[in-house]
Amino acid sequence: MTADPLAPLLELSGVRDALDAARQAVDDVLRHRALRRSGGPVAAESALRSAVASAALEGQGYDREAVRSGLVTDPVVQGALRVSGALDGLVPQWGTAPRQVLARLHVLAARGSVPPEELGRPATASPRLDALVSLLVSPGSAPAFLRAAAVHGELLALRPFAGPNGVVARAAGRLTLTAAGFDPRGLLPVEVGHLAREPEYVGASGAYATGTPDGVRSWLRHCAAAVEDAAGELRAICDDY
């Protein structure tokens, strides 16, 4: 069996401990009693918060209540809402047809932001994008978290599409967490965690793009911290129900 190329990342300093802490935080909140009696409303609220945060990370920050009330027509916000609402339905295809799913995510995210002829079409051919797609359709032994962080980081670095690539990258990361069972119901508002650490998010994603061990470690530790923050946000939502 071919070794998982992501597995060695667990040996980077601090990564295993950060992952274990994130995993524990997620496991704890997914046992919240509100998810047994109010799972639908909790999921809807988490999806809204995720979309608002993802748009804010693209530079389009708006008050959540204004978005909830339908007052915000900004195309990036509307695209993020469409993406967040579509994720559950895209999970079955993610492990078999990731290129088509990425195209669909871009159509949803960028409609109204880029010309119609550019929707769903990578700007240029990219061997690195091909390698990412191959990784996604190959069985792997590395934890789902590592795979999700790599998908997210690669897409931020590659920026394969026109317009709001970040919305696509963050959605792809969440899809990976859901499809691989880390967050099986897709409830974690991970984008909220990234937004809470926005300067770190920007710096760590740039460091990841360098491909150095220190850069990759910085990104993985940021992603673990963002997942912990997202677990706290999900707990706060659950507590309201």
What is the number of alpha carbons within 13 Å of residue 162 lying toward its C-beta?
14
Length of the chain: 241
Percentage of residues in the chain having pLDDT higher than 70: 99
Contact 49, 189 (CB under 8 A): yes
Residue 67 CA to residue 172 CA, distance in Å, equals 23
Tell me how crowded residue 130 is: count the other CB atoms within 10 A of its CB.
11
CATH level 2 (architecture), domain 7-239: Orthogonal Bundle (1.10)
Closest CA to 161 of 111, 118, 224, 197: 118
pLDDT in tens, 152-198: 999 999 999 999 999 999 999 999 999 999 999 999 999 999 999 99
Residues β-bridged to residue 111: 114
One-letter amino acid for residue 116 of the chain? P
Please, what is the average pLDDT of the chain?
95
Distances, alpha carbon 109 to alpha carbons 77, 210, 218, in Å:
9, 26, 27
Residue 92 CA to residue 96 CA, distance in Å, equals 8
Q: What is the mean pLDDT of residues 102-115?
A: 97
Residue 187 CA to residue 221 CA, distance in Å, equals 21
